Amino acid sequence: MSDIYRKYEGHPGKKRYAVWLLELFGRVYTRLRFKMKVEGLENMPRQGATLVLAKHVRNSDIPLGLVRGIHPVRWDVWCIMKDTLAKGLAAKFFLHCGGIPVDRKNPEKSKRDLLVARKALHDGRLVTIFPEQTHFKGKMGKGRTPGFRFVMGRPEHPVMVVPFGFEYLFHKFPRRTEVFIRIGKPVPYDNHSVPEVFLHERMHEIAKLSGLEYNHEPVTRGKPTSVNV
């Protein structure tokens, strides 16, 4: 467990207090506000370099996905987050939880931070990114390739990529919101994979796992790598 708290250049590193506080908050929050169902937990790799590509519906995706979809399997988790969370009073807390701040509007400004994500991934950690880069409720946003490609880099060994879907069913108070977390089968990404094609195929899987359709233009070059969800 202690090995997950190592530091990376340009990042203060994860801290035990922050990880456990987030876990405690997530457990309480999920029980009070949500009725949860998790499918496909057995698909989450228990170790090794893993990139989770998650649907982004709302801010609650992060504590829900972490506590119910990832922490039951592993704790060496890092997550790309919007850079505004790295400012203000709570900045250190989010960084100490393993958050990696990125300017969503101009990722070019965040190369140093994206390199932290790449180093963590290539060190065998689990890194989560939201390829839509912002919230899309009830529909799928377009998967953004540049950040995905940069974080992946050119790994020496295959990286397992896991599609992660969220589906919310909202009810009037006092009924709790129902949330379905669906974890797809891992797909290996290596130096022969075409980033644009690979991500496009995973976006279709994320959509299916979220009860949605992905209607954005397909990429026509490269070899398919899709699997049945």
Question: What CA–CA distance (Å, rounded) separates 81 from 95?
Answer: 9
**Which DSSP helix (H) or strand (E) runs through 161?**
strand 159-169
Q: Report d(CA 62, CA 167) in Å as an integer.
A: 14
Helix axes 145-152, 111-122, angle to 10 degrees: 50
CA angle (124 as vertex; 28, 131 as ends), nearest 5: 65
Taking CA 77 as the corner, what is the angle to CA 76 and CA 82, rounded to the nearest 5 degrees? 155
Q: What is the pTM assigned to this prediction? A: 0.89
Residues in a beta bridge with 102? 82
| Tokens, residue 92 | 């250190």
Asked if the peptide bond before residue 63 counts as cis, ω within 30 degrees of 0, the response is no
Helical axes 195-209 vs 145-152, angle rounded to 10°: 110
More confident residue, 151 or 111: 151
Render pLDDT for 60-117 as a digit per residue (tens, 0 to 9): 898 899 999 999 999 999 999 887 777 777 888 999 999 998 887 666 667 888 999 9
Q: What is the pLDDT of residues 1-47, one digit of tens each?
A: 556 777 888 888 899 999 999 999 889 988 888 999 999 999 999 99
Rounded to the nearest angstrom, the gap between the alpha carbon of residue 66 and the centroid of all alpha carbons in its chain is: 9
In the chain, the domains with their CATH numbers are 12-209 (3.40.1130.10)
What are the DSSP calls for 102-125, one per residue?
Answer: E-SS-GGGGHHHHHHHHHHHHTT-
